[in-house]
Amino acid sequence: MGRRRYPDYVTQIPDKPVPDGLEPKWAERWEAEGTYRFDRERARPEIFSIDTPPPTVSGELHLGHIFSYTHTDAIARYQRMKGLAVFYPIGFDDNGLPTERRVQNYYGVRCDPTLPHDPGFTPPEQPFDPPELVSKRNFIELCERLTLEDEAVFTNLFRTLGLSVDWSINYRTIDQHARQVAQRAFLRNLGRGEAYTAEAPVLWDIDFRTAVAQAELEDREERSALHRIDFHLQDGSPITIETTRPELIVSCVALVAHPDDDRYRSLVGTTAASPLFGVEVPVVTHDLAAPDKGTGIAQICTFGDTTDVVWWRDLDLPTRAALQRDGRLVSEVPEWITTDGGRAAFTELAGKTAKQARRRMVELLAESGDLRGDPEPITHVVKFYEKGDRPLEIVTSRQWYIHNGGRDPALREDLLLRGKEIRWIPDFMRVRYEHWVNGLTGDWLISRQRYLGVPIPVWYAVGADGDTDYDHPIVPSESDLPIDPATSPAPGYEESQRGRPGGFVADPDVMDTWATSSLTPQIAAGWEDDPDLFARVFPMDLRPQAHDIIRTWLFATITRSHFEHDSVPWSNAAISGWIVDPDRKKMSKSKGNVVTPMALLEQYGSDAVRYWAASGRPGADTAFDEAQMKVGRRLVIKVLNASRFALGLGEGAAGDVTEALDRSMLAGLAAVVEEATSAFDGFDYARALDRTESAFWAWCDDYLELVKGRAYGDGPGAGSAHRALRSALSVFLRLLAPLLPFATEEVWSWWQQGSIHRSSWPAAAEFAGLTGDLAVLDAASWVLGEIRKAKSDAKLSMRTPVESVEVRAPDERVAALELARDDLSHAGGVERLEMKIDGESSVGVVLAATA
RNA sequence: GGGCGUUUAGCUCAGUUGGCUAGAGCGCUUCCCUUACAAGGAAGAAGUCGGGGGUUCGAGUCCCUCAACGCCCACCA
């Protein structure tokens, strides 16, 4: 690295450096100079590749993003300074339901795919209720428009934060390339038998009208009520069940008790008639029926909850679905209700929402005398789609799945082994992964009945009889990807044959967004499109992400990589914690405690906010704490001022650190370098910051004060001081550069050429021949502290002269102090310094003012 | 019901293989306009390291147990 001569650079040091305004200045310079551009010519061992999380474009970035992205950036900057070419892409996840929901709320619209495209459409100025219905194409256009706006805001925030991503490696999960990768990977899965389609009960969100996957579930407490309701045995006697879903009695296909339950054993094999509807259902047994729950005998509906699905599957029961995908009961009387009374009763419920039907059903049951007592209010836990507002229902539908080990012990074992191949930071996060894999109950449901997403790239032949052949999907050639089967005809067919007997139909679904984002390494690294790049960066070195999406993003990425590449997607997974408010609650919009990141960056400066973020250990949930940002800002100011001071003293001649105090300081610094390096090697940016920061403050408080007098002068020791100050400053700046990129770059520019972020990480070799005995600075700091204490106790200025100091200490310490005698005397304002060898250490101070 | 994590000064947190007379910052108190820094500096007070047991010469650190909090999972009629 080049260095300018003293007279040139010193003029560039501002008289009063301030931390404000550094962000735009340096963000622009870094971009213009390509400071963080990936060098793809480097060989794999010289590359560090990062599978950066593409933030979901469904609103604003929040503090959690600032927090975890700062961690990754610190690692990236460290690796870059270590000499590696850092592959650090950025993407946006703007595909899927979260984006649709954002668009719906933002513009006040809903997609109605039956509407024709309106070329002159403009969204409502103000969202109103009810929402305006728009065509699918208009809806997608709105998604495109809003995501681009959101992404521009995200980009601005990330640049202001100082992320050292390579902005030229940019992707969006709805762009053509991502679609191509997602479809190609899907077709490969299909070709190898890892993807399949099946008609089965699925968890269904009645508002979004789509199936959802196990990984997207969330439990929520709901107020409900237990109803005791009589079915009727053949002899006319009642048999009471307990249920929270009386409106689903119409879908009842059996009553179930435990095989060992004596109360019901005699009934097994007989039938019971449902109340009101008079539908005869068998009494059956199953191990899952709990004798101690309710009356010990339960109705099995198709389907009220996941237990119903298990019973239905295990006992081979019929399907009597009455709840539609919009959450309402069917409007026609189901054919399995055959009695006139039953038909009349159902008419009362037809077309109602589940909630309305429940209320009416209870009234009807009360009238008929089948309701025993009053419903008992309870609170119970119900499955929700994590982004949904109403409880999930279960409906039967045709969906696409990818194997994930949920129904295949051998695959499960393979995926667990993949988990063991990865280094987890912190290590216990591996347990969460294993726990999730071991708890899977079924394959990964990837199809969604939505609009904004990557289409499932298949068609189905329609027979001459008009029946669709779902068992033999027609697939496109990989060279035709990306493709939309809704607009392109199936290979070998004409568009005119769409939807006709003897023709074809397109699969109507899109893939869930995780089915695309599980391929971020492949998307970013040019899988199949750029084999040279792919070979250089894949498997990647690091996947940084938060712990709440281990079950989704992390797991799915491992699964796809396992199938496609027979390898792990990355060697390290660094899992960040969450930001919680000071009450330890997760911060969320609904609690109204969300702070906008940009306001904080502007108020405290990006380095200060990064300082706060870096104080949270890897994996640890961290409190939002503005006080930490103030401390960070203070550190930034200190760096600027101390640098100005150290650089303003002079340059010194090369290679002449002669004074014991200076060599002692550098020896201490060498140890700090070692600590920070090993911390960063373990991805522990927090420890690296902690060690560096305390060393830096101590350096300012003690060493700078001790060396000041000598450095101001032009005596024989001045050159040593200047040289040591500059060496130390260079090291401190570089140690702090990954964490405080703006301030350190600013100072670097005062006296060095090139970016500090392209300079080399401090190494022990830099100190070769420059270090001395640690004890010298230690001892001098100790005595200086005692002198300060004496002055402070006497409530006197630190400038107060000291008549005499008498130090008593063991001989080694006295010998060390002798080596710093002049510096110490000057720093303390001591006129007479006496030292005596003693077993006990003590410092006697006689202040001039009190003498 | 199972699992994981957390519990150290008023607050936010360090404390790496057991050696701590337990540290830092914020806040608080006192003092200091000192020529790098008053968006600063110096000094100080403040903790039975969640409770209880155990291992050990020695435990904040290891083992057992209990509790609180957070998160994840579970077949939630």
Please give the average per-residue pLDDT across A683-692, as a whole number: 93
For residue A8, pLDDT beyond 80: no
Burial of A842 (0-12, 13-18, 19+ CB in 10 A): exposed
pLDDT tier for residue A713 given thresholds of 50, 70 and 90: confident
Query: CB–CB of A622/A616 below 8 Å?
Result: yes
Residue with tokens 């599978």: A51
- DSSP letter string over A801-849? -EEEEEEEE-HHHHHHHHTTHHHHHHHHTEEEEEEEE-SS-EEEEEETT
For residue A3, pLDDT beyond 60: no
pLDDT tier for residue A1 given thresholds of 50, 70 and 90: very low
Q: List, for residues A615-662, the tens digit of each pLDDT value.
A: 999 998 888 888 889 999 999 999 999 999 999 888 876 668 999 999
Distance A694 CA to B28 C1' (A): 22
Please give the average per-residue pLDDT across A515-521, as a whole number: 96
Range with lowest mean pLDDT among A290-294, A370-374, A447-451, A654-658: A654-658
Q: List, for residues A456-472, the tens digit of each pLDDT value.
A: 999 999 999 999 999 99
For residue A286, pLDDT beyond 60: yes
Distance separating alpha carbons of residues A573 and A619, to the nearest angstrom: 11
Q: Which nucleotide is nearest to A304 (CA to C1')?
A: B77
Q: Tell me how many helices (H) and strands (E) chain A has.
A: 27, 30
Nearest protein residue, CA measured to C1' of B11: A582
Please give the average per-residue pLDDT across A731-758, as a whole number: 95
| Chain B, protein-covered positions (CB within 7 A) | 2-6, 11-16, 24-26, 30-34, 36-37, 39-44, 69-77
For residue A314, pLDDT beyond 90: no
For residue A851, pLDDT beyond 80: no
Neighbours of A7 (CB within 10 A): 8
Q: List, for residues A200-215, the tens digit of each pLDDT value.
A: 999 999 988 999 998 8
Nearest protein residue, CA measured to C1' of B71: A548
For residue A7, pLDDT beyond 50: no
What share of chain A has pLDDT > 70, as a percent? Answer: 96
pLDDT tier for residue A730 given thresholds of 50, 70 and 90: very high
Q: Which nucleotide is nearest to A307 (CA to C1')?
A: B75
Looking at residue A46, the DSSP 8-state letter turns out to be G
Distance A165 CA to B70 C1' (A): 33
pTM for the structure as a whole? 0.92
In this structure, chain A runs to a length of: 851
With a CB cutoff of 8 Å and minimum separation 6, the contacts of A507 are A400, A447, A455, A456, A457, A458, A459, A460, A473, A485
Mean pLDDT over the full length of chain A = 91
Instruction: Give SS3 for A693.
Output: helix
For residue A126, pLDDT beyond 90: no
Distance A631 CA to B26 C1' (A): 8
pLDDT at site A767: 86
pLDDT at site A654: 64
Q: Which nucleotide is nearest to A292 (CA to C1')?
A: B77
Distance A725 CA to B43 C1' (A): 27
pLDDT tier for residue A584 given thresholds of 50, 70 and 90: low
Distance A561 CA to B34 C1' (A): 63
Instruction: Give SS3 for A381.
Output: strand
Q: Which nucleotide is nearest to A678 (CA to C1')?
A: B16
Nearest in space to A788 (alpha carbons), one of A809, A804, A802: A802
pLDDT at site A734: 97
Q: List, for residues A417-439, the tens digit of each pLDDT value.
A: 999 999 999 999 999 999 999 99
Structural element, H or E, at residue A28: helix A22-33
pLDDT tier for residue A834 given thresholds of 50, 70 and 90: very high
pLDDT tier for residue A582 given thresholds of 50, 70 and 90: low
Distance A426 CA to B55 C1' (A): 29
Distance separating alpha carbons of residues A369 and A39, to the nearest angstrom: 79
Distance A83 CA to B31 C1' (A): 49
For residue A850, pLDDT beyond 80: no
Q: List, for residues A218-232, the tens digit of each pLDDT value.
A: 888 888 899 999 999
Q: Is the peptide bond before A482 cis (omega within 30 degrees of 0)?
A: yes
What share of chain A has pLDDT > 90, as a percent? Answer: 75
pLDDT tier for residue A69 given thresholds of 50, 70 and 90: very high
